[in-house]
C-alpha cells in the first residue's frame, strides 16, 4: 500500500508527517521524491546505501545520414531541436526523452545516448527501507528520478510512504500516480489554504482518496480548516504549533521516538489513514 504525502508549498511538514508515519508503522518503506532537495535521510541516516544512476535518452544525429528534411524538428513539441548551419542541433536540457524524433526520421539518422541526470539511493534504518532520489544540480526535471524510485519499489508489499515534492506540477503527479491514498499537509494561513486548494484540485483530478493533516495549529481561525469544512474535506489529523516539536525536528531527531505525546498523535493518524484506505477499498470493490 502506498500513501503519498503532499502539499502545495514547501515547509508545511510533508517530511515531518511521512518520516514519523513510516517510523511508527514499523517495517515500512519511506521514499523521498523531493529530488531537488531530499531531506528525509537527515532523520533516518540510512546505512548500507546502494546507489544507482538514473539516465535519460538524448538523440544523437548522424549528419551523414541526415537528409535535412526537418521532420524531427517539426515533430518535437518541446522545441528541443533546431536546424542551423545545415545541421540538426540538439538542446539536451529541453529534450523530454520521448524518442519521437528517432521514430519519425525517414533515414534512421537518429540514435540515442544515455545522459545521467541523478541517482537513487536505497538504504536501511532499523526495519525501514529508505529510498532517496537526487537530481543533479542544473538538470531541468526530476521526473525520471521519481519514476526510477517508484519502479525500484514496485514489488515492495510493505506499507510505503511517499514524501512528495512541493507544489502540484509534473513531478508531484509522477509521485502520486500509483498512490492508494494521499495525505495533504496544510498550514493555518490564507496562503496555506490557497496552496491546499492547489493540491486538493490535483488529487481530485487524479480521483485519489485523500485526507488533510492540519499542521502548526494555533488557537484562532485556521483558513485551511475553513477550506476543508466548506469543501467537505475530511481532516484526519492535527499537529500543534509547538516549540518542543520544532526543537526535536530541527535537531534531525524523529519525534515519535523522542516524545510520547507525538507517538500517540502519529499512531492515531496512521490508524485513521489505514481505516480510510480500507474503507475506500471496500466501496470501490
Partner 1 sequence: MRIAIPANEKNMEDLVCPSFGRAPYFLIYDTQSSEGVFLENTAASSQGGAGIKAAQIVVDNKADVLITPRCGTQAAEVINAAGIKVYKSQNISMIDNIKAFEKNELAALENFHAGFHGHGGN
With beta carbons less than 8 A apart as the criterion, state whether 169 and 143 touch.
Answer: no
- C-alpha distances (whole Å) from 160 to each of 21, 23, 129, 176, 210 are 10, 11, 9, 12, 15
Question: How far apart (Å, rounded) are the C-alpha atoms in residues 124 and 128?
Answer: 6
Report, in Å, the least distance between residue 263 CB and partner 1. 41
Report, in Å, the least distance between residue 172 CB and partner 1. 16
Burial 195-220 (b: 16+ CB within 10 A, else e): bbbbbbebbeeeebbbbbbbbbbeee
Between 138 and 220, CB nearer to partner 1: 138
Q: Are strands 2-6 and 159-163 parallel, antiparallel or unpaired?
A: parallel
Report, in Å, the least distance between residue 70 CB and partner 1. 9
Between 21 and 81, CB nearer to partner 1: 81
Report, in Å, the least distance between residue 90 CB and partner 1. 11
- Contact residues for partner 1 (CB under 8 A)? 73, 76-80, 82-85, 89, 91, 93-94
Question: How far apart (Å, rounded) are the C-alpha atoms in residues 115 and 135?
Answer: 12
Between 82 and 173, CB nearer to partner 1: 82
Between 84 and 282, CB nearer to partner 1: 84
User: What's the full length of the chain, in residues?
Assistant: 285
Between 78 and 241, CB nearer to partner 1: 78
Report, in Å, the least distance between residue 184 CB and partner 1. 24
Residue carrying C-alpha cell 496552496:
195
Between 29 and 141, CB nearer to partner 1: 141
Report, in Å, the least distance between residue 54 CB and partner 1. 21
Report, in Å, the least distance between residue 16 CB and partner 1. 28
Please count the other Cβ atoms lying within 10 Å of the Cβ belonging to residue 243. Answer: 8
Q: What is the secondary structure of 123-148 as a DSSP string?
A: EEETTEEEEEEEEPTT-S--HHHHHH
With beta carbons less than 8 A apart as the criterion, state whether 41 and 29 touch.
Answer: no
- C-alpha distances (whole Å) from 96 to each of 56, 58, 165 are 8, 8, 19
Question: How far apart (Å, rounded) are the C-alpha atoms in residues 235 and 273?
Answer: 11
Between 94 and 252, CB nearer to partner 1: 94
Amino acid at each position: 500500500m502506498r500513501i503519498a504525502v503532499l502539499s502545495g508549498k514547501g515547509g508545511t511538514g510533508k517530511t515531518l508527517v511521512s518520516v514519523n508515519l513510516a517510523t511508527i508503522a514499523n517495517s515500512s518503506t519511506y521514499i523521498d521524491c523531493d529530488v531537488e532537495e531530499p531531506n528525509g535521510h537527515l532523520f533516518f541516516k540510512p546505512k548500507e546505501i546502494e546507489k544507482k544512476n538514473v539516465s535519460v535518452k538524448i538523440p544523437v544525429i548522424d549528419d551523414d545520414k541526415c537528409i535535412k528534411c526537418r521532420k524531427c524538428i517539426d515533430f518535437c513539441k518541446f522545441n528541443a531541436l533546431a536546424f542551423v548551419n545545415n545541421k540538426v542541433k540538439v538542446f539536451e536540457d529541453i529534450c523530454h526523452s520521448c524518442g519521437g524524433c528517432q521514430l519519425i526520421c525517414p533515414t534512421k539518422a537518429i540514435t540515442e545516448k544515455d545522459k545521467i541526470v541523478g541517482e537513487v539511493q536505497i538504504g536501511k534504518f532499523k526495519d525501514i527501507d529508505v529510498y532517496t532520489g537526487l537530481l543533479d544540480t542544473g538538470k531541468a526535471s526530476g521526473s525520471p528520478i521519481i519514476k526510477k524510485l517508484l519502479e525500484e519499489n514496485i514489488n515492495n508489499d510493505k506499507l510505503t510512504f511517499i514524501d512528495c515534492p512541493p507544489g502540484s506540477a509534473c513531478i508531484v503527479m509522477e509521485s502520486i500516480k500509483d498512490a492508494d491514498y494521499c495525505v495533504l499537509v496544510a498550514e493555518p494561513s490564507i496562503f496555506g489554504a490557497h496552496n491546499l486548494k492547489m493540491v486538493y484540485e490535483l488529487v481530485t483530478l487524479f480521483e485519489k482518496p485523500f485526507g488533510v493533516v492540519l499542521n502548526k495549529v494555533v488557537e484562532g481561525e485556521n483558513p485551511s480548516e475553513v477550506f476543508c469544512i466548506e469543501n467537505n474535506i475530511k481532516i484526519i489529523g492535527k499537529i500543534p504549533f509547538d516549540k518542543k516539536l520544532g526543537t526535536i525536528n530541527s535537531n534531525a531527531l524523529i519525534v515519535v521516538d523522542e516524545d510520547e505525546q507525538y507517538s500517540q498523535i502519529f499512531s492515531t493518524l496512521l490508524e485513521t489513514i489505514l481505516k480510510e484506505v480500507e474503507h475506500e477499498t471496500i466501496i470501490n470493490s
